[in-house]
Structure 1
Amino acid sequence: MEFILYLALIILSTKVAGDLSVRLGQPAVLGKLLAGIVLGPAVLGWVHADEFISHFSEIGVLLLMFIAGLETDLDQLRKNWKASFAVAVGGIILPFIGGYGVAAAMGLSNTHSLFLGMLLCATSVSISVQTLKEMNQLNSREGTTILGAAVVDDVIVVVLLAVMMSLLGTADDSSLAFMFTKKLLFFVIVLFAGWFIVPLFMRFLAPFRVSEAVMSAALVICFGFSYFAELMGVAGIIGAFAAGIAVSQTKFRHAVEAKVEPIAYTLFVPVFFVSIGLNITFAGLGGQIIFILVVTVVAALTKLAGGGLGARITGFNTRSSLAIGTGMISRGEVALIIAAAGLESGLLLPEYFTSVVMVVILTTLITPPLLKLVFPAGEKAPNL
């Protein structure tokens, strides 16, 4: 019954910490992330990462991105596709150069330096999504550009990983070609399903004489798209985001949105926030503090500069470009997945794995306050 206690601690601590964070002028999500550090092995040791935490946090991040898709203005997304692409490309080139340069300067081999550069290219906007939502900016031009750039970024980084594993790791050329094909197939099928199948599926289940038929249909679509994304080598959060966009184009959008948020923000999303902090432990890191700090600074500045430059050359002013670049800083669960793949394939040295995880977590922690600082002011949304 330990997981029941975990849930009680997580729900209470994230709400208290979130409220304190807001009172101090910071986004609530920052307090929720810090709650994970306090509850976890780094401080109190009351909650430990286990299979339960892993499953609940996975559902939490999928629901978070599903909600982001529901609330995305598709017209705005179409208008800003050029900016999103430029932000994604800029946010890949500079971090790759910066990561490779730092690793090489610290004596890592060419192969390991290339992998660290590729790892820093990753972006996970799930934390940025929550922060923008709190600031009522998720549907702004800047917010939509960040979301679009994250999708492009994810695809490019996964392809880069496939290329690198083929050339330097354990994959072969046939698996590389197969992976390219799977990515293309994923987007074709999801586009078709979102346009034709999702509306039919929602209309088919809506009249069922059972409780919450519409909401159940929406969750089936969310988790179905996410599973298919993972199956095709694309991050599950991209599938959830696509599912949210598909459902948002139906007449059931507002009904689903009104009911999925209480489920997500009461139970699953708090576990996701706390799970990030649970990965932090200060044991045995004394010898790599310089490495962690330098790589974190490089990771943040290169993503900020690259994403911001991409926004600037596509028509955004300096303040908006800075906000967009900041929204791309968090590496989140995407980088953690890549780090695990690198460790398994020999592209990431085992002695650097924990340090890389710390870099990923630090970039995730600094993103909410930086976004609050640089984002153009707007009407504040209710805290969730």
Structure 2
Amino acid sequence: MVFILYLAIILIATKVAGALSVRLGQPAVLGKLLAGIIIGPAVLGWVQPDDFIGHFSEIGVLLLMFIAGLETDLEQLKSNWKASFAVAVGGIILPFVGGYAIAAAFGLSNNEALFLGLLLCATSVSISVQTLKEMNKLQTREGTTILGAAVVDDVIVVVLLAVMMSVLVPAQDVSIGLLIGKKLLFFIIVVAAGWLLVPRFLKWFAPLRVTEAVMSGGLIICFAFSYFAEEMGIAGIIGAFAAGIAVSQTSYKHEVESKIEPIAYTLFVPVFFVSIGLHITFDGVGEQLLFIVLVTLVASITKLLGGGLGARMTGFDRRGSIAIGAGMVSRGEVALIIAAAGLESGLLLQKYFTSVVLVVILTTLITPPLLKLTFKEREQA
């Protein structure tokens, strides 16, 4: 029954920490992330990472991205595709170069430096989504561009990871053509399903004489799209986001959204925020403190500049470009997955694994206050 205690601790810690964060003028999500560090193994040790936390947090991030899809303006997303692509590419090139350079400066091998560069290319939009939502900026042109860029970034980085594993790890035998084909097939099927199947499914499912049929139908679509994305080698959050967009084009959008949000933000999303902090441990950090600080700085600055440059080249003003770059800084769970793959394949040494995880979490902690600052400056201007 320890998981019941974990839930109680997580819920009270995230709500109190979120409220304190708002009082201090920061987004509530920053307090929730810090709560995970405080109640986790790094400080108090009240909550330990386990399968229960893992499963709940995965549902939490899927629901978070499903809600983001529901609230996304599809027409604005279409009109900003060039900007999203430019932001994604800029946010890959500069972090890759910066990551490779800093790894080489610390004496890592060529293969290890290439992998660290690729790891810093990742972007996880889930934290940015929550921050933008709190600031009512999710449906702005900047918010939509960040969402689109994160999707493009995820696809490109996954393909590059497969290429790198096949070239640098002798045991890996990956067909690049098959890999790219699966990504294209995913988007073709998702677009077709969102256009043809989702409206028909909800129209059939909604009248069923059972409790909360519409909300259940929305969850079925969310989880089905997420599972399909994982099977096709794409992060499940992309599938959840696509499911949200598909449902948003139906007449059931507002009913699904109004009933999903209480479940997500009451239980599952708080567990997701806490789970990020649970990965932190300070064992042996002192020996690699310089490495952690410098890699965090490189990861943050290159993503900010790369994403911002892409936005600037596609018509955004200076402050809008900086805000978009700030929204791309968080590496989150996507980079943690890549780090685990690198550790397993030998491209990331065990002694650097904890330090890299800390870098990923630090970039995630930086993002909420950075987003709030950049958007505030833009509004004042």
Deviation track 1:297-352 (CA, whole Å, cap 9, x = no partner) reads 00000000000000001000011000000000000000001111111111111111
Alpha carbons 1:137, 1:378 under 8 Å: kept = no
Deviation track 1:183-211 (CA, whole Å, cap 9, x = no partner) reads 11111111111111111111110010000
**1:45 deviation in Å?**
0.5
Matched letter for residue 326 of structure 2: T
Match of 2:211 in 1: 211
Deviation track 1:99-151 (CA, whole Å, cap 9, x = no partner) reads 00000011000000000000000000100000000000000000000000000
**Pairing 1:5-154 to 2, within 5 Å after superposition:** 5-154=5-154
CA RMSD after TM alignment: 1.1
Match of 2:252 in 1: 252
Distance 2:71 2:164 in 1: 35
Distance 1:239 1:215 in 2: 18
Match of 1:304 in 2: 304
Match of 1:162 in 2: 162
Match of 2:336 in 1: 336
Distance 2:320 2:373 in 1: 12
Instruction: Return closer, same or farther for 1:72/1:377 CA change in 2, 3 Å cut-off.
Output: farther
**1:376 deviation in Å?**
4.6
Instruction: Tell me, yes or no, if structure 1 residue 193 matches structure 2 residue 196.
Output: no
Percent identity between matched residues is 77
Write out the 4+ residue segments of structure 1 that deviate beyond 4 Å after TM superposition: 170-174, 376-379
What's the TM-score, normalizing by structure 2?
0.98
Deviation track 1:15-66 (CA, whole Å, cap 9, x = no partner) reads 1110110010000000000110110011111001000000000000000000
Alpha carbons 2:32, 2:274 under 8 Å: kept = yes
Match of 2:349 in 1: 349
SS at match of 1:375: helix
Alpha carbons 1:214, 1:256 under 8 Å: kept = yes
Distance 2:278 2:170 in 1: 31
Matched letter for residue 222 of structure 2: C
Alpha carbons 1:320, 1:376 under 8 Å: kept = no
Deviation track 1:75-119 (CA, whole Å, cap 9, x = no partner) reads 110111000000000000000000000000110000000000000
Match of 1:322 in 2: 322
Distance 1:146 1:80 in 2: 10
Distance 2:363 2:254 in 1: 33
Distance 1:10 1:173 in 2: 42
Matched letter for residue 207 of structure 1: P
Match of 2:290 in 1: 290
**1:225 deviation in Å?**
0.4
Alpha carbons 2:41, 2:47 under 8 Å: kept = yes
Alpha carbons 1:42, 1:281 under 8 Å: kept = yes
Distance 1:68 1:278 in 2: 25
**1:377 deviation in Å?**
6.7
Question: In the comparison of the two structures, how many residue pairs are matched?
Answer: 379
Distance 1:284 1:351 in 2: 9
Distance 1:342 1:151 in 2: 22
Alpha carbons 1:280, 1:358 under 8 Å: kept = yes
Match of 2:224 in 1: 224
Alpha carbons 1:60, 1:264 under 8 Å: kept = yes
Instruction: Return closer, same or farther for 1:182/1:170 CA change in 2, 3 Å cut-off.
Output: farther
SS at match of 1:84: helix
Deviation track 1:248-271 (CA, whole Å, cap 9, x = no partner) reads 000000000000000000000000
What's the TM-score, normalizing by structure 1?
0.97
**1:178 deviation in Å?**
2.0
Distance 2:209 2:175 in 1: 47
Instruction: Tell me, yes or no, if structure 1 residue 373 matches structure 2 residue 378.
Output: no
Alpha carbons 2:182, 2:233 under 8 Å: kept = yes
Q: What stretches of structure 2 of length at least 5 have no aligned partner?
A: none
Instruction: Return closer, same or farther for 1:250/1:378 CA change in 2, 3 Å cut-off.
Output: farther
Matched letter for residue 13 of structure 2: S
**Pairing 1:237-276 to 2, within 5 Å after superposition:** 237-276=237-276
SS at match of 1:123: coil
Alpha carbons 1:166, 1:172 under 8 Å: kept = yes
**1:172 deviation in Å?**
4.8
Alpha carbons 2:319, 2:377 under 8 Å: kept = no
**1:175 deviation in Å?**
2.9
Distance 1:198 1:10 in 2: 35
Matched letter for residue 63 of structure 1: L
